[in-house]
């Protein structure tokens, strides 16, 4: 086998990748973490994290990820900011091609490419993206000071961010397709008690209206009636889809939505030395603490594969 550039390459620098990186750097494994943007992943789009253990008073998404990055850096984790274009995960020498054309090799790889927001796929959504259609309340909330806006979704993200958006907007209308929320009880209680939050239940946005910016949303109610809600912004927060575009899906096993299947040790079936952790994994619950735990698990599995940890 040609000499690999690294023992381990981690693709993606969210909580899973950073935790794998922390463990690897601390274990003195020759490791590279590749990240295409800033380290932190989707947590950077979250204004407030209230359920990460040891942060008893809560913490901003930015501060949590800043601390996670600093923690891995304290042990000397090597990072490269670049986009991965393709990977060949077969055989003993894994090959990772960057968009610059550079090819890096490693004995083991941990895939932590995460997930990104889903779209509702209605007329006006693509056309008005960045002109009132947003997928990140933390990024765009301040643009809507004293305005009336809509949030689509009923999960933790939608309800948490609806609460956050009340710091800026005059009124936030949550449009949810059922008559009960998926979000955790504490968030539900806070949102239902918030005078600035209004709910439209059993309804879906069928069109986003506006010429140069969002002016209103057309709503289709489950009883087949329709209405128009004037708003200047709409936050679509309806879950995530896999960040798998650069991954060799013909080599990996995925679920129907393109998330990676692993065994309980985070190993990708049929590909010795390849692991996945965090939101890119096929699983039911996507939590920061889960992603971090899976990152640790994947790295320890990789150390075992590399013959560093005893069996
Ligand atoms: P989610 O839990 O999958 O919820 C998605 C929400 O959007 C659901 O209410 C769903 O409705 C609705 N929805 C889905 N497709 C829709 C469509 N086409 N049109 C209208 N509504 C649609 O997604 P999420 O809230 O983004 O959370 C993703 C993961 O991150 C979850 O595991 C979540 O627990 C986690 N998370 C955790 C926290 C926290 O612990 N503080 C914060 C944020 C996110 P139905 O309910 O009818 O399916």
Helix axes 288-305, 15-26, angle to 10 degrees: 40
CA separation (Å) from 217 to 208, 234, 292, 309?
A: 5, 8, 38, 56
pLDDT of residue 20: 98
E strands, the chain, in order:
6-11, 31-35, 48-49, 59-60, 78-81, 84-88, 94-98, 103-111, 115-117, 133-134, 148-152, 171-175, 197-200, 203-209, 216-221, 226-230, 233-236, 240-242, 274-276
Residues 142 and 226 both lie in one domain: yes
Residues 197 and 148 both lie in one domain: yes
CB of 153 within 6 A of ligand 1: the answer is yes
Q: For residue 18, how far is its CA from the centre of ligand 1 (angstroms)?
A: 24
Ligand 1, atom 32: closest residue by C-alpha = 286
Ligand 1, atom 26: closest residue by C-alpha = 239
24 pLDDT above the threshold of 80: yes
User: Which residues are 208's β-sheet partners?
Assistant: 217
- In the structure, what pLDDT confidence band is assigned to residue 112 with cuts at 50, 70 and 90? very high
Burial 25-48 (b: 16+ CB within 10 A, else e): bebebbbbbbbbeebbbbbbbbbe
311 pLDDT above the threshold of 90: no
Total structural domains within the chain: 2
CB of 120 within 6 A of ligand 1: the answer is yes
- In the structure, what pLDDT confidence band is assigned to residue 1 with cuts at 50, 70 and 90? low
In a domain, 137, yes or no: yes
CB of 190 within 6 A of ligand 1: the answer is no
2 pLDDT above the threshold of 90: no
Ligand 1, atom 4: closest residue by C-alpha = 155
CB of 14 within 6 A of ligand 1: the answer is no
pLDDT of residue 43: 94
Best residue among 118, 155, 200 to mutate for probing ligand 1, ranked by most atoms within 8 Å of CB? 155
- Cα distance between residue 252 and residue 267, in whole Å: 11
User: What does the mean pLDDT of the chain come to?
Assistant: 97
Q: Which of 203, 236, 269 is the last residue of a domain?
A: 236
DSSP string for residues in 215-266: -EEEEEETTS-EEEEE-SEEEE---EEE--TTS-TTTS-B-TTSPBP--TTS
Which residues are CB-neighbours of 280 under 8 A, at least 6 positions away?
A: 12, 16, 111, 112, 113, 114, 115, 242, 243, 244, 259, 260
Contact 126, 246 (CB under 8 A): no
Ligand 1, atom 46: closest residue by C-alpha = 182
Residues 125 and 228 both lie in one domain: yes
**Domain with 22 in it:** 6-116+240-305
User: Which residues are 174's β-sheet partners?
Assistant: 151, 199
Nearest atom in ligand 1 to 159's CA:
25
Best residue among 153, 183, 241, 259 to mutate for probing ligand 1, ranked by most atoms within 8 Å of CB? 153
Entry pTM? 0.92
pLDDT of residue 46: 87
286 pLDDT above the threshold of 70: yes
Residues 27 and 64 both lie in one domain: yes
In a domain, 126, yes or no: yes
pLDDT of residue 165: 97
pLDDT of residue 55: 97
List residues with catalytic annotation: 136, 139-140
CB of 240 within 6 A of ligand 1: the answer is yes
For the chain, percent of residues with pLDDT exceeding 90: 96
In a domain, 311, yes or no: no
- Cα distance between residue 204 and residue 217, in whole Å: 10
CB of 169 within 6 A of ligand 1: the answer is no
Q: How far is CA 184 from the centre of its chain?
A: 18
Q: For residue 94, how far is its CA from the centre of ligand 1 (angstroms)?
A: 35
Residues 97 and 20 both lie in one domain: yes
> Whose structure tokens read 């040790």?
265
Q: For residue 157, how far is its CA from the centre of ligand 1 (angstroms)?
A: 6
Residues 193 and 107 both lie in one domain: no
């Amino acid at each position: 086998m040609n000499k690999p550039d690294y023992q381990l390459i981690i693709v993606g620098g969210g909580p899973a990748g950073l935790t794998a990186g922390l463990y690897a750097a601390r274990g003195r494994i020759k490791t590279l973490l590749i990240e295409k943007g800033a380290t932190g992943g989707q947590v950077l789009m979250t204004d407030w994290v209230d359920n990460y253990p040891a942060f008893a008073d809560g913490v901003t998404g930015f501060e949590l990820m800043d601390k996670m990055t600093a923690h891995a850096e304290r042990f000397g984790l090597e990072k490269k900011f670049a986009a991965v274009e393709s990977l060949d995960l077969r055989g003993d020498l894994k090959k990772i091609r960057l968009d610059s054309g550079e090819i890096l090799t490693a004995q083991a790889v941990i895939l932590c490419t995460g997930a990104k927001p889903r779209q509702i796929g209605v007329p006006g959504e693509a056309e008005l993206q960045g002109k009132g259609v947003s997928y990140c309340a933390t990024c765009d909330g301040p643009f809507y000071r004293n305005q009336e806006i809509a949030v689509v979704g009923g999960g933790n993200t939608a309800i948490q961010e609806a609460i956050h958006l009340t710091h800026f907007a005059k009124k936030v209308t949550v449009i949810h397709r059922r008559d009960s929320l998926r979000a955790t009880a504490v968030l539900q209680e806070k949102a239902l008690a918030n005078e600035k939050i209004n709910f439209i239940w059993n309804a879906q946005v069928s069109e986003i209206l506006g010429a140069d910016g969002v002016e209103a949303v057309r709503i289709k109610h489950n009883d087949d009636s329709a209405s128009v809600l004037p708003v200047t912004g709409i936050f679509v927060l309806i879950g995530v889809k896999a960040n798998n575009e650069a991954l060799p899906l013909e080599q990996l096993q995925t679920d129907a939505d393109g998330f990676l299947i692993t065994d309980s040790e985070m190993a990708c079936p049929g590909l010795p030395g390849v692991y996945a952790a965090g939101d890119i994994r096929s699983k039911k619950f996507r939590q920061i603490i889960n992603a971090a735990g899976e990152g640790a698990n994947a790295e320890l599995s990789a150390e075992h594969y590399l013959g560093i940890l005893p069996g």
